[in-house]
Amino acid sequence: MNDDTAREARVTVDEVFRCESRQVLATLIRLLGDFDTAEEALQEAFAVAMEQWPRDGIPANPRAWLVSTGRFKAIDGMRRRARYDASLNEITKHIENTTSEPLVEHEDEHIEDDRLRLIFTCCHPALAEEAQLAMTLREVCNLTTEEIARAFLTKPATMAQRIVRAKTKIRDARIPYEVPLPSELPERLDSVLRVVYLVFNEGYSASFGASLTRADLSGEAIRLGRLLLQLLPEPEVMGLLALMLLHESRRPARTSANGDLVLLEQQDRSLWNQAQVAEGIAFVERALSLKRIGPYTLQAAIAAVHAEASSAEQTDWAQIVALYDVLLRVEPSPIIQLNRAVAVAMRDGPAKGLELVDVLLARGELAQYHLAHAARADFCRRLARNAEARVSYQRALALAKQEPEQRFLRQRLMELT
């Protein structure tokens, strides 16, 4: 084989690693029964590929080749260790027997299931939510521990510890590597969708710190949503993907050149990404046609009504209020009630909105939520009740954690004086 073909083969190994490493990993975890062993086997398989493919050519089915090489390497390693530790003998035999060669040959049929198994295991509700996030980004999305730590503004050591602890719990508590039963699917899918949406939101509006958006995480969440939809075409998966696309479409208009927050009603809608809007609306329509309508689809439908309006004034606020009413029936939450109050204010005027938000604040659940006070301040400002507006903006400012939001609230306070 000449140098050119060898170079080409090395490029192919890189390419296969980028596209297929998670699928190979997902299958190896099932075959070997352990995350760490599977990861080690994956690395070894790619090392062998790097050495052999440039010399012998690329195998017909690279993925199956990698799975079978990884499995062989792992069993080989276990056999070697078993010479010193007899307790490993039985495990090695068990893995050899349950994953014989012909089984590996037919792996392609199981591969999609394996990716779902991996997602459901990483998002298992027996793991802490922060561990679910870290595991999903590490194992499913292939982000490095350092990248995840940077995205969540924690130390790499903390993130690494979190991942190690999650893997220990999966092993010791014996969290099974399986797709949930149909009867348990809705609840377990909720947990997966929440993780995907948390990743998206972490990227879309970081909960603290100087930068308002971290596009990488949002992009990762959308990719994850697409993968999930391909594996499990449930209406709510479609709804969540639509919701993320429609929010993401507004990104270019959401912050000004100097990093300040631009509210939806002031955004330059010509900046919205029309490809994402169109795709998002198409998904909403498909999800709504499936008749099992959940909270993500409803939120996406609300975002779609905004996306279809040329300005805040042109928006069909009556339809938005109606959608919030349905959403509140599916998922009663004070934050949704607050959003509904804002929509009512757009439909019926700020006095109506103020009435609703005061009832909500009096109930206490939103007392520490900066956006509730910001909404109240905004209604008062529009009603020319400036003294009240000032008090509420100050409360909101004291509670807001993000710099761009604080700047926005300070700006509003200045405009009042």
Partner 1 sequence: MKYLCLVYLEEQILNAFPSDKRRSISDEAMSYCEKLQKTGQLLAASPLHPVETATTVRVREGKTSTTDGPFAETKEQLGGFLMIDVPDLNDAIRIAAQFPAARFGSVEVRPMKELGCAD
Contact set with partner 1 (CB under 8 A): 126, 172-176, 178, 180, 184
- 34 vs 378, beta carbon nearer partner 1: 34
In angstroms, what is the minimal distance from the CB of 199 to partner 1? 24
In angstroms, what is the minimal distance from the CB of 124 to partner 1? 8
Q: How many separate helices (H) and strands (E) can be counted in the chain? A: 21, 0
- 14 vs 178, beta carbon nearer partner 1: 178
In angstroms, what is the minimal distance from the CB of 173 to partner 1? 5
Q: Residue 3: how many CB atoms within 10 A of its CB?
A: 8
In angstroms, what is the minimal distance from the CB of 135 to partner 1? 15
In angstroms, what is the minimal distance from the CB of 174 to partner 1? 5
394: tokens are 């100050």
In angstroms, what is the minimal distance from the CB of 171 to partner 1? 10
- 3 vs 85, beta carbon nearer partner 1: 85
User: At a CB cut-off of 8 Å and minimum separation 6, what does 381 contact?
Assistant: 389, 412, 416
- 109 vs 172, beta carbon nearer partner 1: 172
Return the CA Rg of the chain: 26
- Name the one residue in this structure whose structure tokens are 């409360």: 395
- 146 vs 178, beta carbon nearer partner 1: 178
Closest CA to 139 of 120, 155, 125: 120
User: At a CB cut-off of 8 Å and minimum separation 6, what does 317 contact?
Assistant: 343, 346, 347
- 180 vs 280, beta carbon nearer partner 1: 180
In angstroms, what is the minimal distance from the CB of 127 to partner 1? 11
Give the span between the Cα atoms of 362 and 176, in whole angstroms.
45
In angstroms, what is the minimal distance from the CB of 4 to partner 1? 51
Give the span between the Cα atoms of 119 and 226, in whole angstroms.
13
- 174 vs 329, beta carbon nearer partner 1: 174
SS3 call for 242: helix
27: tokens are 């299958």
**Residues written for the chain:** 417
SS3 call for 402: strand
Angle at 40 between CA 36 and CA 45, to 5 degrees: 145
In angstroms, what is the minimal distance from the CB of 175 to partner 1? 5
Give the span between the Cα atoms of 61 and 253, in whole angstroms.
45
Give, in order, the Cα–Cα distances in Å from 88 to each of 69, 81, 83, 94, 307: 20, 7, 9, 10, 59
- 33 vs 59, beta carbon nearer partner 1: 33
- 170 vs 344, beta carbon nearer partner 1: 170
Contact predicate 326/300, CB 8 Å: no
